[in-house]
Amino acid sequence: MHKAYTQELEDGSPVHNFPTLLRSLATACRNQVLPNGLPEGLPEEPAFEGVTQPTELQSRALALAGVRPENA
């Protein structure tokens, strides 16, 4: 009853349902970064990937699902 009444887990974190959990997981991403605007004469920078670090909630959800993020 504690969770239903307070909308919080015992550790104080918010209770999530499937849609809110999916919204949180949807913020994890991998971006390809293409550097632009280097000064004349410098070699072109290669593209690189920028990967978001999972939040505490994302890490816990992925661990419970048995998924290990690539950047871990």
Q: Model's pTM, two decimal places?
A: 0.62
Coil/strand/helix, residue 40: coil
Percent of the chain predicted with pLDDT > 70: 85
Going by the DSSP 8-state scheme, the letter that residue 7 receives in this structure is: S
Return mean pLDDT, the chain.
Answer: 82
Q: In whole angstroms, give the CA distance from residue 53 to residue 70.
A: 10
Both structure tokens of 58: 């994302």
- Kindly state the helix (H) or strand (E) to which residue 20 belongs, with its residue range: helix 18-25
List pLDDT tens digits, range 26-52: 998 889 887 777 777 777 778 889 888
Q: 54 near 28, Cβ under 8 Å?
A: yes
What are the extents of the domains in the chain? 2-64
Report residue 26: phi and psi, to 5°: -70, -15
